[in-house]
Amino acid sequence: MKKAKITLLVAFLGIVLALGSSCKKSNSTPSMPQTLYDSLGGTAMVPDPAMQGAMIEKGRLGIRSVVDSAIFVIAADTNINGYFKVLLQEVSSGNLSGFNALSKNLTDFFCVATGAKNFSYTGKDMVSAHNPATNPRMNGKAMNDDFDSFVADVVVAAKKNGLPDYLIARLGTIINSVRSQVVQA
Amino acid sequence: MRSKTVVKSVLITTLVLFVILVVHIIWVTRPIRNNAHNIAMARIDFQAPLNDAQGKAITQWLYAQKGVTHVLCNTSSKIAVFTFYPSQVNATQLASQLSRYMQIPATRYLPAKEEIENGCPVISVSTQQKIEQLTHWFIHSVNN
């Protein structure tokens, strides 16, 4: 009789523990993987070093720093700088310079691609932007080698900005995801 | 009575035109604050091979110039690129001064209008973006 009581108690405790652990599991929210944008600082606001008195999201600042460095590397890279001659256009009549326009456009694009929520890319989609038939500014179809040079230049820029290798790898994956849209030759 | 009205209209028109002229003069002669929106980029092509020491010297010399904000010298492509404020420095003059300082033939690369027009696919913008840029430019012009 006593043995049966103990068995019953153990069985009851086992059920309680099992239910408790299963409830715990169902209540816990699955951890969302952090976006690359979040890894770079996300939406935390920090002073913008390029604009006195202005604030900028830390994630965007990180992206813009890499983009700006990449623009320098690309401008001095004879493999692909032919595509980016507009960079060397000077400011005139209140127009934004080619440098600033390219920096903003690429930063917007990478912000959205890396998971930013507060920005939007309003330029052409990657296929249309790189198709000479739909974009007269594209003076020829981009080759795989051109794209490789672009990726290499961005990696150089990311390293210059002290990005750790695992974040560079994630950035590389994002860039490579549009390779088939950019390379149309 | 009619001549009075004509004189009055002429006076008002002249006054309005004068005010517009004054506003225009103030607008075009206002001091431009240097920021990310009026920065420009220039490229200097060297016509001789560069070694690492020369690359460093070029970078240091450019950084020492007023109005130059960032420099990168690629010795393998014999190209130096830098950003600068056009209101503070003339990049073409800087290129010839640098050429003299380094004693290496060098010229500033300036793309032709046609090259700019079919240069960069990323710059090709949508109408929405053009409106955004115009609004952005207007707000910054007013702030400055």
List the single residue in B with minimal CA-CA distance to A160: B72
Return the number of other C-beta atoms located less than 10 Å from residue B122's C-beta.
Answer: 23
Cβ–Cβ below 8 Å for B125 and A138: no
Q: Does B120 touch chain A (CB under 8 A)?
A: yes
CA-derived radius of gyration, chain B: 23
Cβ–Cβ below 8 Å for A122 and B137: no
Q: Does A101 touch chain B (CB under 8 A)?
A: yes
From the list A50, A78, A102, which residue is nearest B123 (CB)? A102
Residues of B in contact with A51 (CB under 8 A): 35-36
Give pLDDT tens digits for B2-48: 788 889 999 999 999 999 999 988 877 776 666 667 889 999 999 99
Per-domain boundaries in chain B? 1-30, 36-112
Residues of A in contact with B133 (CB under 8 A): 96, 101
Cα–Cα nearest to B107, from B42, B27, B53: B42
Crossing angle for the helix pair A58-75 and A98-113, to the nearest 10 degrees: 130
CATH topology of domain B36-112: Alpha-Beta Plaits (3.30.70)
CA distance A43 to A111: 11
Cβ–Cβ below 8 Å for A75 and B38: no
Asked whether the beta carbons of B108 and B91 are under 8 A apart, the reply is yes
Interface list for B 45-84 with A (CB within 8 A): 70, 72-74, 77, 79-81, 83
Residues of B in contact with A136 (CB under 8 A): 117-118
pLDDT of the residue at A185: 82
CA distance A34 to A42: 10
pLDDT of the residue at B29: 75
Let me know if A148 is exposed, middle or buried by CB neighbors in 10 A (0-12, 13-18, 19+): middle
Q: Does A130 touch chain B (CB under 8 A)?
A: yes
Give pLDDT tens digits for B64-122: 999 999 999 999 999 999 999 988 899 999 999 999 999 999 999 988 877 777 666 56
Instruction: Give the best residue of B41, B76, B87, B127 to mutate against chain A (max A CB count within 10 A).
Output: B41
Cβ–Cβ below 8 Å for A91 and B86: yes
Tokens of A131: 């198709």
Residues of A in contact with B120 (CB under 8 A): 83-87, 98, 102, 137
CA distance B103 to B95: 12
Q: Does B131 touch chain A (CB under 8 A)?
A: no
Most confident of A86-95, A112-121, A136-145, B120-129: A112-121
Cβ–Cβ below 8 Å for B81 and A86: no
Type of residue found at B14: T
Q: Can you tell me whether residue B82 is helix, strand or coil?
A: strand
pLDDT of the residue at A23: 45
Return the number of other C-beta atoms located less than 10 Å from residue B100's C-beta.
Answer: 10
A42: left (phi over 0), alpha (psi -120 to 50) or beta: left
Residue B54 C-alpha from the chain's centroid: 28
Residues of A in contact with B43 (CB under 8 A): 75-76, 81, 88
Q: Taking residues A159-176, what's their average pLDDT?
A: 94
Chain length of chain A:
185
User: For all residues of chain B together, what is the average pLDDT?
Assistant: 84
